[in-house]
Amino acid sequence: MRKLLAILAAVFCIAAASDPAERLADPAQEARARALFSEVRCLVCQNESIDDSQAELASDLRRLVRDQIKAGKSDDQVKAYLTDRYGEFVLLKPSFSWGNAALWGAPFLVVGLGVWLLARNLRAPRPSSELSEEEAARLADLADDDQT
């Protein structure tokens, strides 16, 4: 059984290796492409880079990145091309923007506001549950009216 699992694991590892026909001829360009693969999100798997994903779309994105590098584009130009086409979600580490800051900061702001409101309400003086003389007299008058 253990031998069968080892054989299956080896087959899956071989299947996961990228196709040599897809690789760029220039090793420097291929190294740049591989570095970019780890920075681009697979839009199907969402939490994996296209380097780790086996989805068809990830394969298409790898091919697209290699084509852009082969065309002489810089890493920033390749990322800009991908974000223009797929949106900023395609990057595993999106660039800083005020929209992203608001998106990441909003939960902390809401929790902080909740803690502040809770603390304010806990410190607020509680109204007395005892009746004032005026209220007690009025209640007694109402009780007398009901009995008659």
Domain CATH for 36? 1.10.8.640
What is the pLDDT, as a whole number, of residue 16? Answer: 45
Q: Over the stretch 13-72, which tens digit does the pLDDT of each residue have?
A: 444 445 555 777 778 888 999 999 999 999 888 788 998 888 999 999 999 999 999 999
12 and 49 within one domain: yes
103 and 72 within one domain: no
| Angle value at C-alpha 32, between 29 and 37, nearest 5 degrees | 125
Q: Which of 90, 107, 134 is the last residue of a domain?
A: 90
What is the pLDDT, as a whole number, of residue 5? Answer: 56
81 and 55 within one domain: yes
Separation CA 78–CA 99 (nearest Å): 22
107 and 38 within one domain: no
Whether residue 146 lies inside any domain: the answer is no
What is the pLDDT, as a whole number, of residue 104? Answer: 87
Whether residue 72 lies inside any domain: the answer is yes
CA 107 remoteness from chain centre = 13
Whether residue 140 lies inside any domain: the answer is no
Q: Over the stretch 56-112, which tens digit does the pLDDT of each residue have?
A: 999 999 999 999 999 999 999 999 999 999 988 899 888 888 888 898 899 999 999
Owning domain of residue 78:
2-90
74 and 18 within one domain: yes
75 and 113 within one domain: no
Separation CA 80–CA 65 (nearest Å): 11
Cβ-based neighbours of 21, under 8 Å, separated by 6 or more: none
Whether residue 31 lies inside any domain: the answer is yes
What is the pLDDT, as a whole number, of residue 15? Answer: 45
Statement: residue 4 has pLDDT above 80: no
Tally of domains in the chain: 2
Element (H, E) at 137: helix 133-147
The dihedrals phi and psi of 91, each to the nearest 5 degrees, come to -90, 135
What is the pLDDT, as a whole number, of residue 65? Answer: 93
53 and 119 within one domain: no
Q: How confident is the model at residue 9 (pLDDT cuts 50, 70, 90)?
A: low
107 and 54 within one domain: no
What is the pLDDT, as a whole number, of residue 76? Answer: 92
Range with the lowest mean pLDDT among 29-33, 116-120, 127-131? 127-131
Is the distance from CB of 65 to CB of 76 less than 8 angstroms?
no
